[in-house]
């Protein structure tokens, strides 16, 4: 049974991740010709620094919502989020031992891998090869938005940590 504190933490996590999805569907991005993947940035950071914040049930719900809102085949988002958390957890120790530049370089490599994987899954789902130009711009956008989303993620982690460990005593 979930206590009130745990529920609040999941609610904050869900609201934050949902707001990132809503940012991704703004028409502004279509005019620029690129949609950054804010959700993958946060999942990367949380898989590295805060694996306790990663909730598979929230990923499933958000993955389905993101797929529906972006017009992707249902399930693609869930696969992406699960693969992100699994891959990052594999090299977590190595990257954390090396410091900021290793974390950032890890994100750059991860962003390339994630974008290529997502492009491949969407191509398979549509039964045709999507244009390769759809790979470069999202990678650049993710790298450029990494610092901003990192700061927002840190603030959310601090908010979640501000709640006491035990409910009411």
Q: In angstroms, how far is CA 37 from the centroid of its own chain?
A: 7
In the chain, where are the structural domains located? Answer: 4-159
Q: What angle do CA 132, 134, 137 make, to 5 degrees?
A: 120
Whether 99 and 80 have beta carbons less than 8 Å apart is answered as no
- pLDDT tens column, 81-111: 888 888 888 888 888 888 788 888 989 998 9
Whether 118 and 35 have beta carbons less than 8 Å apart is answered as no
For residue 151, what pLDDT band results from cuts at 50, 70 and 90?
A: very high
Which pTM value belongs to this model? 0.83
- pLDDT tens column, 11-55: 888 888 889 888 988 888 888 888 888 988 988 888 888 888 777
Cβ neighbour number for residue 21 with a 10 Å cutoff? 18
**Positive or negative torsion for Cα 120, 140, 22, 27:** negative
DSSP states of the chain: ---HHHHHHHHHHHHHHHHHHHHHT-HHHHHHT----HHHHHHHHHHHH-GGG--HHHHHHHHHHHHHHHTPPTTHHHHHHHHHHHHHHHHHHHHHHH-HHHHHHHHHHHHHHHHHHHHHHHHHHHTSPPPTHHHHHHHHHHHHHHHHHHHHHHHHHHHHHTS-SSTT-
- pLDDT tens column, 55-80: 778 778 888 888 888 888 888 888 88
């Amino acid at each position: 049974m979930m206590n009130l504190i745990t529920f609040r933490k999941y609610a904050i996590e869900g609201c934050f991740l949902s707001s990132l999805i809503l940012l991704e569907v703004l028409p502004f991005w279509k005019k620029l010709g690129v949609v950054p993947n804010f959700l993958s940035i946060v999942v990367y950071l949380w898989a590295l620094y805060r694996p306790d914040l990663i909730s598979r049930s929230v990923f499933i719900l958000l993955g389905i919502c993101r797929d529906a809102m972006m017009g992707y085949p249902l399930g693609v988002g869930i696969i992406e989020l699960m693969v992100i958390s699994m891959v990052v957890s594999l090299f977590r120790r190595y990257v954390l031992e090396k410091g900021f530049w290793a974390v950032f370089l890890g994100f750059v490599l991860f962003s390339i891998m994630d974008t290529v994987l997502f492009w491949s899954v969407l191509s398979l789902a549509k039964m045709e090869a999507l244009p390769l130009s759809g790979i470069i711009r999202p990678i650049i956008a993710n790298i450029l938005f990494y610092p901003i989303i990192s700061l927002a993620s840190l603030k959310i982690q601090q908010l979640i940590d501000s709640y006491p460990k035990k409910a009411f005593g």
